[in-house]
Structure 1
Amino acid sequence: MKSYRTEQDALGEVRIPQQALYGPQTQRALENFPLSGTPMPCHFIHALAQIKSSAARANQQLGLLAEERCQAIVQAAEAISAGRHDDQFPIDLFQTGSGTSTNMNMNEVIVHLAKQQSGLLLHPNDEVNLGQSSNDLIPTAIHLATLQRNPSLLQAISHLQETISAKGEEFADLVKCGRTHLMDAVPIRLEQEFSGWSAQLEDARERIQHSASELSPVALGGTAVGTGLNTHPRFASLCLQQLAELSGVMLTEAPNHFAAQASVDRCAAYSADLRGLAQVLIKLCNDLRLMNSGPVCGFNEITLPALQPGSSIMPGKVNPVICEAIIMLSTQVIGLDTAVGLSAQSGQFQLNTMLPLVAYNLDQSQLLLHNACRVLADKAIAGIAVNRQQIAQSLSRNPVIATALVPRLGYDLCARIIHRAMEQQRPILAVAQEMSDLSEQELRQLLDPEPLTRPGTE
């Protein structure tokens, strides 16, 4: 039979599971918000614990917290940030909009751990939360957690870029039909097609890197409404110095605390750039799916790795499952960004009250996109095989290659040549020889596909 203990907060007595490290405010939140069953991300909880540890050290430096009490907080917070107590943070992400429930969850767990480890009885508000408010602490933790995960995302994007570039170099000599509006167009080298994807990813990576740099200013020091009530004037700067040493992330105190606490504009900008990466991945995967389509009735230009049977009813069918999964994932990221964008509108007066949702969605988007880039690179791009015969046959039948004759014959005559070749299902070279005064040798030179992919070169 489950045993309970009774603790008291400002609203009265609360029954709490005997083995729980949290206290009454956490228990109330668990009872108040049985909504999704999804707690705040562990990565965010670890970042929040790092700030608590740094805050204790700052308050000890300021003479506001005795050394032994500071060390008790630090020891407990370090255990939390190391992931040893993740199960003690069960509050639903859909909770009070400031994240106060999660902040108090952290304070209460630190109090109980400190009592276990050192025998000291700390106060969750007066000591663990000294100089802080959920209103400046939670936004700061969002920025910290996002910046901590950002390098691994950038590395994953680079890995995908490098895999695409390496695969493209394998096909440097291969010319294929270009396509616009999904219709035949002038020739392009497969390497050039791959380079376009790589450049899109590089642009997305640079945008994410830039918007991440805009997350450095944080709300810490503003306390309740941005005025800094009940905190030491030097608290924020000292805490952020300690945090830089602990986390390796350099944050700065926001120049205007009222903006920092009333808005999540910088988070929304970062999320929008994550959405931009998701859009690139969708375009890339759709191109791959079309190029892989077939094997008989589609483009059949490439073959993606066969990873699993594709149908429960059609034997032998293999589908582009990685591309489909990445498209779904990227669509989800776009949805997460939409929610962040709507959250950015919810900064009434001195506080944005959608902070837990912003924290969760940024964490999920980063995680999903990181995994998407890795999986797409390793399970799809790296194993692409090219169907050279199919590509050559399609290119040889492409009438739009007559575009290369426009400088010599003019647009109108070339259009007539193309239409006749298509109607009669004959090669462009033969029809052009009939309808123009160019020799076969000249036509072969002008219609050679490879030089057409390198205009302006000798």
Structure 2
Amino acid sequence: MSTTSNSQNFRLEHDSMGDIAVPLQAKWQAQTQRAVENFPISGLRISKPLIRALALIKSAGAMANSQIGTLDPKIANAISSAAERVANGDFDDEFPIDVFQTGSGTSSNMNMNEVLATLASEILVDVTVKPNDHTNASQSSNDVFPSAIHLATASELKFNLIPALLELSASLGSKAIEFESVVKSGRTHLMDATPVTLGQEFSGYRAAIDYGIERIESVLPRVCEMPLGGTAVGTGINAPKEFAPKAIALLREWMDLPLTEARNHFEAQGSRDALVEASGVLRTIAISLYKIANDLRWMASGPRCGLGEIHLPDLQPGSSIMPGKVNPVVPEAVCQVVAQVIGNDAAVAFGGSAGILELNVMLPVIARNIIESIELISSVSIALAHKCVDGIEADVERCRNYALSSPSIGTSLNPYIGYEAAAKIIKRSLAENKDLRTLVLEEGLLTPEEADKALDVFAMTKGGLIG
């Protein structure tokens, strides 16, 4: 119930704690305003994917309540219609509460309840829809807010991150094919090793991304287990038994996700282990990205005094003082995203440890960090694919010269002359700056034909015995 205050810019709203002034045009009501005033902490609001997930849960909840007779169909339809508009992003500015708020997310749940109640009341005109009694019917913040985190996370994983990683995988796969015959020196410990092809390296990068997609698909069913129906402590008090199955069935249909009701509501209420696991998957993918980005930086280093095996697309000037300098800016952005994702994962893991008795009390910070990680990895993967990988060119001659110059190609001499003799030839090669073929011929260790076979750098990339 609201009344207009003396100020033209505010109105008075009432809740169980009394009256409070709310901005006149705001769709939220008293409890949201209290949270706004209580938590002037970071200026960070809950994410749009989480707002959307909360709205969809409220819409499905209203429809489920209508079906089982808990809510007047007219009110339920109005709530659902209002929730659709919120889910579409029409009222994102109506969710002003700081991320760092009450640990259960009650403030944001009530924010959603109040906004939907206001919008639904506007639709009905002659009926006042109440936040607690109507939009929160059969629900508690303690099951709705974590359910919304799971829903938002699952949706972002499936419809944002997986497609982005598939694009990156395709770009890396194309380069693996393009570079399949570009032989180069392998390197271990940053030291010369036996030859590989540039294509083999890129095939490894693609595989790492593909494994990341497999990891997401593996964790997705557990993320899709929803605590909805547990209400306050997992027992489901005040929620009809049919409520959660009906609401989740609607969400499953709307979202095209494998959503299920939690197998055990007490685990689902007190723990956020599936989100911790999912964040760990994101960290693993980030580590894969770091390896790829770092390798690209190393191989593109130069242009004169580095490895110079590949050339990355020139995107922007690299220095305010050194003319003509161009830097690997996209790989550097990737590396910074990885740093953020690792930090986010630490926050999610710590937040996950805050499951105290019947409730985890770090839900908003878990939500913020895991959703941010998904969005960052998704965006930077697209950038890496199309602003970097797609335009990579190989310096074929330099790569081959490195392969031929590597003393480690002497490894293939082992089956012919033995390890110790090969080691002596390699040391002499380094000391005298002569190639291995010349030396084995000088010492009469191999015939020219045997030397050509044993020191075929491209054949070495195929494994097995050479020659």
Q: Normalising by structure 2, what TM-score?
A: 0.96
Q: Cα offset for 1:362? A: 1.4
Aligned to 2:223: 215
Equivalent position amino acid for 1:240 in 2: I
Q: 1:32 to 1:436 in 2, by over 3 A?
A: farther
Q: Cα offset for 1:436? A: 4.8
Per-residue CA shift, 1:358-396, capped at 9, x if unaligned? 111111111111111110000000001111222122222
2:60 to 54, 59, 65: 54
Is the aligned partner of 1:95 residue 2:98?
A: no
Per-residue CA shift, 1:183-209, capped at 9, x if unaligned? 000000111011011111111110111
Secondary structure of 2:223 counterpart: coil
Per-residue CA shift, 1:194-244, capped at 9, x if unaligned? 101111111111011111122122111111011111111111111111222
Q: Cα offset for 1:437? A: 2.5
Q: Is the 8 A contact 2:13 2:22 kept in 1?
A: yes
Q: Cα offset for 1:2? A: 6.2
Q: Is the 8 A contact 1:2 1:17 kept in 2?
A: no
Secondary structure of 1:8 counterpart: strand
Aligned to 1:348: 356
What is the distance in 2 between the residues matched to 1:16 and 1:26?
Answer: 9
Using the TM superposition, name which of 316-325 and 110-119 deviates more. 110-119
1:310 to 310, 318, 327: 318
1:17 to 5, 17, 23: 23
What pairs with 1:383-422 in structure 2 (closer than 5 Å)?
A: 383-422=391-430
Q: Is the 8 A contact 2:42 2:100 kept in 1?
A: yes
What pairs with 1:202-281 in structure 2 (closer than 5 Å)?
A: 202-281=210-289
1:115 to 121, 138, 153: 121
Q: Tell me, which stretches of 5 or more residues in structure 1 are unaligned?
A: none
Equivalent position amino acid for 1:235 in 2: F
Secondary structure of 2:20 counterpart: strand
Aligned to 1:6: 12
Q: Cα offset for 1:434? A: 2.9
What is the distance in 1 between the residues matched to 2:331 and 2:69?
Answer: 57
Aligned to 2:303: 295
Q: Cα offset for 1:455? A: 2.2
Q: Is the 8 A contact 1:417 1:435 kept in 2?
A: no
Q: Is the 8 A contact 1:51 1:239 kept in 2?
A: yes
Equivalent position amino acid for 1:165 in 2: G
Q: Cα offset for 1:418? A: 0.6
Using the TM superposition, name which of 131-140 and 147-156 deviates more. 147-156
Secondary structure of 1:214 counterpart: helix
Q: Normalising by structure 1, what TM-score?
A: 0.98
Equivalent position amino acid for 2:115 in 1: V
Q: Is the 8 A contact 2:417 2:445 kept in 1?
A: no
CA RMSD in angstroms comes to 1.3
Equivalent position amino acid for 1:19 in 2: Q
Secondary structure of 2:185 counterpart: strand
What is the distance in 2 between the residues matched to 1:252 and 1:427?
Answer: 65
Q: Is the 8 A contact 1:161 1:201 kept in 2?
A: yes
Aligned to 1:328: 336
Which ranges of 4 or more aligned residues in structure 1 deviate by more than 4 Å?
none
Q: Is the 8 A contact 1:240 1:250 kept in 2?
A: no
Once the two structures are aligned, what percentage of the paired residues are identical?
45
What is the distance in 1 between the residues matched to 2:135 and 2:445?
Answer: 89
What is the distance in 2 between the residues matched to 1:243 and 1:294?
Answer: 53
What pairs with 1:120-159 in structure 2 (closer than 5 Å)?
A: 120-151=127-158, 152-159=160-167
Q: Is the 8 A contact 1:98 1:356 kept in 2?
A: yes
What is the distance in 2 between the residues matched to 1:245 and 1:210?
Answer: 21
Aligned to 2:86: 80
Secondary structure of 2:26 counterpart: coil
What is the distance in 1 between the residues matched to 2:312 and 2:56?
Answer: 44
Equivalent position amino acid for 2:273 in 1: D
Q: Cα offset for 1:110? A: 0.7
Q: Is the 8 A contact 1:285 1:327 kept in 2?
A: yes
Q: Tell me, which stretches of 5 or more residues in structure 2 are unaligned?
A: 1-6
Equivalent position amino acid for 2:150 in 1: H
